[in-house]
A and B are shown apart, each in its own frame.
Chain A
Amino acid sequence: MKDNTIGDSGPAQDPRIVEAIEACRPGSDDLSDPDLAFLATELAARAELDSAFERLQRVDGVLAEVFRNQPVPDGLEQRILARLEAARAERAEDDSADEVTPDEPAMPQPVAGGRRVSRRVLLSVAGATAVAASLLVAALLHWHAPTQYTGQDVLELAIDLFNTPSSDPWQTSSPPSAYPPSPKVVAVPDIRWRRVPSFLGCRAVAYDMSTPGGTQATLFVVKCPVAGLSTAPPLRPALMTGGRSTSAWQSGSLVYVLVVQGEARGYRRLLNVHRGPVA
């Protein structure tokens, strides 16, 4: 292999020619593109340029083959289908949650045939209607102008939640499929979880990531628009404060926030991050 300089000041260094050469796909008729006619003329006139062009076409053909033959991991299709199924189940769950739940106060029933309605009932209905209307307005406002939180907001709130004892006990049943733990943290068998009523106004689930050695840790999974998060947890915590190490990242519509008691070492132990391409 040689250093294939084709003249430092020759046509090969002309950006227009270089870009045109690079734009031609291997095995294509791109050279017949009228906008590349000048290149065809140059190639016909300069044997060394033509030779470089031919070599580049072959190199590009090889690289294209490498791009198209990347191995695909085993079981990918099943994992995709499982995630789609989980998303459908979550949507169905959300739809049913939007209906009246047993915890919500029952709306007064319509009064049968011409019976007089008491003033108290009327006031209750009016009050409930006013509350519903204001909730609807708030929801519409939220819909039209969604709040975009920052990574710092998320980290600080996660630490607050981590530090505040929850009155809800950990659950040991199957966790909600639409809020799965991130594959970028270590897998915990029979992981415990609980719903977080509100995380920056969004739905969330907390997973207990505490280790057998006694290090307390929680992974929050939130459906919330957050600006500027990466798609993987950093190897060092993004925020270390008050004896807590934390970072946030996102995957699709989900934001993950890991809070670990202690310093970076305990935090790193909980990561399951493969960096760089593995063929």
Chain B
Amino acid sequence: MVDDRAAMDIAQLVAEHHQAVYRYAYWLAGSIPDAEDLTQQVFLVAQQKLEQLRAPEAARGWLFAILRNAFLKSRQRHGPLLAENSKLDIESIPEEVPGHEEIDRERLGQALAELSAEHRLVVTMFYYEDCSYRQIAERLELPIGTVMSRLARAKGHLRTRLFELQRRQDTRREQSAAK
């Protein structure tokens, strides 16, 4: 009976939150199979620790916390390429802001994949979870200065990768028009 009840509750949890968890996992993991794998891991842990969830309204945050831990654990020994060498600047802000349908998702995914796991997590918490820098610092137990630095570098890197091609094209167009 207890198992039936637990199965019912976990099924409800999956029904209500699997999409949100998957989307978060996708931007962290960087590919569909890895995101699906990570999502399944989250619910496996949730199933084991379901009694820890006291209030249904806290479910999403709880699942997200499990996701962040699972992601960081899986990436501990496999830090990707870019960590601290991104430029700290705001020069990559486009003059004309594109619509969301104009954003190249694949390019965005590649840009995220170039970041270290720590930078990727911070920037995904900012964009996907809508976390303030203070919330990020609290949840990851990091100094606020570290969070702000990672956020600025990671965001700058994403913009550079997303908009550099367009910027180069515009520059070339302006140069040829000037001639």
Chain A residues within CB distance 8 Å of chain B: 1-6, 12-13, 15, 18-23, 25, 28, 30, 33, 35, 52, 55-56, 58-60, 62-70, 72-73, 76-77, 79-81, 83-85, 87-88, 183-184, 227-228, 230-232, 250-252, 273-279
Contacts and interface: CB of A to CB of B under 8 A. Distances in A.
Given A3-B91, A228-B77, A70 B105 contact: yes
Contacts of A252: 37, 40-41, 44
Contact of A276 (B31, B89, B152, B167): B31
A67 B74 CA distance: 22
Nearest to A77: B18
25 contacts: A2-B95, A4-B92, A4-B95, A15-B149, A15-B152, A19-B149, A20-B148, A21-B152, A22-B148, A28-B132, A56-B90, A58-B97, A59-B93, A64-B130, A66-B103, A72-B18, A76-B22, A77-B14, A79-B36, A80-B43, A83-B44, A230-B78, A232-B34, A278-B31, A279-B109
Nearest to B76: A228
B64 interface: no
B95 A84 contact: no
B97 A88 contact: no
A35 to B, nearest CB: 8
Given A4-B95, A251-B41, A252-B40, A62 B100 contact: yes
Interface of B: 3, 7, 10-11, 14-15, 18-19, 22-23, 26-27, 29-34, 36-37, 39-41, 43-44, 47, 74, 77-78, 88-100, 103, 105-106, 108-110, 113, 124, 126-128, 130, 132-134, 144, 147-149, 151-152, 155-156, 158-159, 163, 166-167, 170-171, 174
A25 B132 contact: yes
B26 A63 contact: no
A13 B93 contact: no
Contacts of B134: 33
B33 A183 contact: yes
B100 A65 contact: yes
Given A18-B90, A63-B127, A84-B10, A23 B152 contact: yes
B36 A76 contact: yes
Contacts of B33: 183-184, 232, 273-274
Contact of A275 (B31, B47, B148, B158): B31
B127 A64 contact: yes
A4 B93 CA distance: 7
B91 A1 contact: no
Contacts of A184: 33
A18 B89 contact: yes
Nearest to A49: B90
B51 to A, nearest CB: 15
Given A84-B47, A183-B33, A276 B133 contact: no
A251 B10 CA distance: 21
Contacts of B78: 230-231
Contacts of B14: 77, 80-81, 84
A265 to B, nearest CB: 22
A12 B92 CA distance: 12
A87 B42 CA distance: 13
A35 B109 CA distance: 32
A59 B32 contact: no
A184 B11 CA distance: 26
B21 to A, nearest CB: 9
B167 A67 contact: no
B103 A62 contact: yes
Given A22-B155, A64-B127, A274-B32, 9 more contacts: A13-B89, A33-B132, A35-B144, A66-B108, A68-B128, A72-B22, A183-B33, A183-B37, A274-B33
B95 A81 contact: no
Given A19-B151, A76-B36, A227 B167 contact: no
Contact of B23 (A13, A19, A68, A183): A68
A55 B41 contact: no
Contacts of A15: 88, 149, 152
